[in-house]
Amino acid sequence: MAPTRLRHKLSIGCFILLLAALLVSPLWDEQGLPGIHNDMLLHMHRAAAMARAFEQGVFWPRWFPIAFQALGAPVFHHYSPGFHWLVAATHSVGFRLDESVKLVFTAAFALSGICAYAWLRRTFSVQASLVGAALYLGQPKFLLRGIYYFGDYPQMLGVLISTRLPATLSAFSGRLAQGSPEIGLPISTLRTPEESWRPSSMVLLLPDLSDKPVETEQPVY
């Protein structure tokens, strides 16, 4: 890779990371987590239970022992524990539980901005892709609504991760352009354990579902 092209990619990546850090910085202003909501408390209890399972050497638990007044329930069997697992894994290396939640969301938020840019760049110019990534990161749903007020952490993590992976969307784009029958694979295979494929997320597929021919050359990022 040419040095100029590498510097160009690094500068774009740094810009997106700095923007993501600026937008997510209020989450780190105070100790603890913002707001008190039933969903937040529920998921923090589940993350704590997952962390205790880690301490006991169980890294993929299915039983939630303190549910229903300590009678226990197979919560992690029917409610996928992706978010709680990531928080417990981060907690196991020495961070507090609330810091682990913040670290997971900060990493997912920054990664989603980079992925949004990389996917948009398949169709649009560098400038348009940067604007799209900035608008995506700046929309209030993620931080203000999903994290600060409602506390539905697993759902927001699912939205941040699964619907923005450019490799997955690029694969769909290529298969659709080639008329491959594999395009019939259910979208549910792309779904994270948490609810992530919403109508608003499907809008992101529009450029790839257009009738524009797929370029054979890789764009310069």
Choice among 20-29, 37-46, 185-194, 208-217 with the minimum mean pLDDT: 185-194
For residue range 29-75, what is the model confidence (pLDDT) as tens digits?
A: 888 887 767 788 888 989 999 999 999 999 988 888 888 888 888 88
Q: What is the 3-state secondary structure (H, E, C) of the chain?
A: CCHHHHHHHHHHHHHHHHHHHHHHHHHHCCCCCCCCCHHHHHHHHHHHHHHHHHHCCCCCCCCECCHHHHCCECHHHHCCCHHHHHHHHHHCCCCCHHHHHHHHHHHHHHHHHHHHHHHHCCCCCHHHHHHHHHHHHHCHHHHHHHHHHHCCHHHHHHHHHHCCCHHHHHHHHHHHHHCCHHHHCCHHHHCCCCCCCCHHHHHHHHHHHCCCCCCCCCCCC
Over residues 126-154, mean pLDDT? 80
